[in-house]
Amino acid sequence: DSVFASVVRAPEDPILGVTVAYNKDTSPNKLNLGVGAYRTEEGKPLVLKVVQKAEQYLVNDQSQIKEYLPIVGLADFNKLSAKLIFGADSPAIQQNRVTTVQCLSGTGSLRVGAEFLARHYHQLTIYIPSPTWGNHPKIFNLAGLSVKTYRYYDPSTRGLNFQGLLEDLGAAPSGAIVLLHACAHNPTGVDPTLEQWEQIRQLMRSKRLLPFFDSAYQGFASGNLDADAQPVRTFVADGGECLAAQSYAKNMGLYGERVGALSIVCKTQDVASRVESQLKLVIRPMYSNPPIHGASIVATILKDSNMYNEWTVELKAMADRIISMRQQLYDALSAKGTPGDWSHIIKQIGMFTFTGLNSEQVAFMTKEYHIYMTSDGRISMAGLSSKTVPHLTDAIHAAVT
Ligand code: PMP
């Protein structure tokens, strides 16, 4: 008998499991709106042209080797990633009080940041929005933090519960960590306005709450990298400290390359260098050092002003296609006279629409229409195209009538 005979089967991951079910479906009309990965109008995954160009450049560059990177990753990549999120003119960067380490995409950056906080920060409670990306509570729990939630989404308005958010953060213990989606909140697509961000910042600074930004969609919300980083930059501009986890999965389409960065903005250069020395102690026993290829692609693009500009054009095109899908779906539901107010589809931001469909309606759409999405009614707008909008519209219509 196996020594593992008592191991019980674990449930599928609620998000990645949607793709598993989709792959098993043999219907020609099947549609996967579960996972947050960009698709073209033809429904195909996209490798950005500028990424192909950077890879070509790397292949031809004789100095490219496959030796280990340092524990903290590729130096150029780290510097350029900090500039990307905090801004080229960021005083925190100029004063050398930011430490940035290359990590395994957004997930790995969050985990390394959380492990560091669990070892070295005095207040081990982290507040995450309700709802949030399903991996957040697990990442922070397993790192040894105690996870609490703050109110974020109001189902009645399908918008922000700003009052609830302020009350919950206002009642948090001094020093608590607060996870903030930098832009394009997943799964709700609801972001605070800049005025609301300012109120959140003032409240958090007055209560000494520590901001931990999750930036998985910079450029994907508005199509503009600087605009999407504005909330993070206002927190850094006040001189206070914060953490930021960056992912290049969506905005450079580098999903499987697992390339991201964790930055910790500190009060002084001396603190930042001591923090970095401890981040190395977190990383070394976990995976020694990060992979080289994805970070080299990103550094090549960010370093070269032509490639950087090409990237922003391709990024804007992806963001615009998503925004256009919102409009098309909204128009199609209106034209069909589907009961209910669907204006949240065009008001929400980023990759996802939080439709308001409940788990029974989702199950119905999967069974009858072969449309796959998470059971909370979240659909990836990036997985939709002009050709599939009518099918989705029919399914939503049938589900609510
Ligand atoms: N945070 C949020 C809010 C996300 O939606 C995602 C991707 N689904 C991530 C982090 C991390 O993704 P990755 O590890 O692929 O960069």
Residues 65 and 210: their CA atoms lie apart, in Å, by 39
Q: Within the chain, which residues score under 50 in pLDDT? A: none
The confidence score (pLDDT) of residue 167 equals 98
Residues 371 and 392: their CA atoms lie apart, in Å, by 7
Ligand 1 first shell, C-beta below 6 A: 36, 105-107, 133, 181, 186, 214, 216, 247, 249, 255, 260
Task: Give the atom of ligand 1 at the shortest distance from the alpha carbon of 186.
Answer: 3
- Ligand 1 centroid to residue 107 C-alpha, Å: 6
DSSP summary character for residue 351: S
| Residue 181 and residue 197 in contact, taking contact as beta carbons nearer than 8 Å | no
Task: Give the atom of ligand 1 at the shortest distance from the alpha carbon of 255.
Answer: 15
Name the one residue in this structure whose structure tokens are 């985990």.
111
Q: What is the pTM of this model?
A: 0.96
What does the block give as tokens for 38? 């960009």
Residues 379 and 384: their CA atoms lie apart, in Å, by 9
The confidence score (pLDDT) of residue 135 equals 95
Burial zone of 67 (CB within 10 Å; 0-12 exposed, 13-18 middle, 19+ buried): exposed
Look up residue 283 and give its amino acid.
I
| Residue 83 and residue 301 in contact, taking contact as beta carbons nearer than 8 Å | no
Q: Choose one of 247, 251, 254, 349 to mutate for the ligand 1 pocket test, by most ligand atoms within 8 angstroms of C-beta.
A: 247
Catalytic residue among 133, 228, 311, 342, which? 133
DSSP symbols for 288-324 = SS--SHHHHHHHHHHH-HHHHHHHHHHHHHHHHHHHH
With a CB cutoff of 8 Å and minimum separation 6, the contacts of 190 are: 152, 153, 158, 159, 160, 348, 349, 354
With a CB cutoff of 8 Å and minimum separation 6, the contacts of 48 are: 252, 253, 311, 314
- Ligand 1 centroid to residue 10 C-alpha, Å: 22
Task: Give the atom of ligand 1 at the shortest distance from the alpha carbon of 110.
Answer: 10
Closest CA to 268 of 49, 65, 99: 99
Residues 153 and 164: their CA atoms lie apart, in Å, by 9
Q: Choose one of 111, 135, 351 to mutate for the ligand 1 pocket test, by most ligand atoms within 8 angstroms of C-beta.
A: 135
Catalytic residue among 214, 228, 311, 342, which? 214
DSSP symbols for 372-398 = E--TT-EEEGGG--TTTHHHHHHHHHH
Residues 291 and 45: their CA atoms lie apart, in Å, by 23
Task: Give the atom of ligand 1 at the shortest distance from the alpha carbon of 35.
Answer: 8
What does the block give as tokens for 290? 């990060």
Output the residue whose Cα is nearest ligand 1's atom 1: 216
Query: What length is written for the chain?
Result: 401
| Residue 233 and residue 197 in contact, taking contact as beta carbons nearer than 8 Å | no
191 carries an active-site annotation: no
Residues 117 and 243: their CA atoms lie apart, in Å, by 10
Q: Choose one of 102, 111, 133 to mutate for the ligand 1 pocket test, by most ligand atoms within 8 angstroms of C-beta.
A: 133
Q: Is 242 helix (H, G, I), strand (E, B) or coil?
A: strand
250 carries an active-site annotation: yes
With a CB cutoff of 8 Å and minimum separation 6, the contacts of 51 are: 252, 253, 254, 297, 301
387 carries an active-site annotation: no
- Ligand 1 centroid to residue 25 C-alpha, Å: 26
Rounded to a whole number, what is the distance in angstroms from the first to the last CA of the chain?
53
Q: ipTM beyond 0.95?
A: yes
Task: Give the atom of ligand 1 at the shortest distance from the alpha carbon of 185.
Answer: 3
Catalytic residue among 228, 250, 311, 342, which? 250
Output the residue whose Cα is nearest ligand 1's atom 11: 106
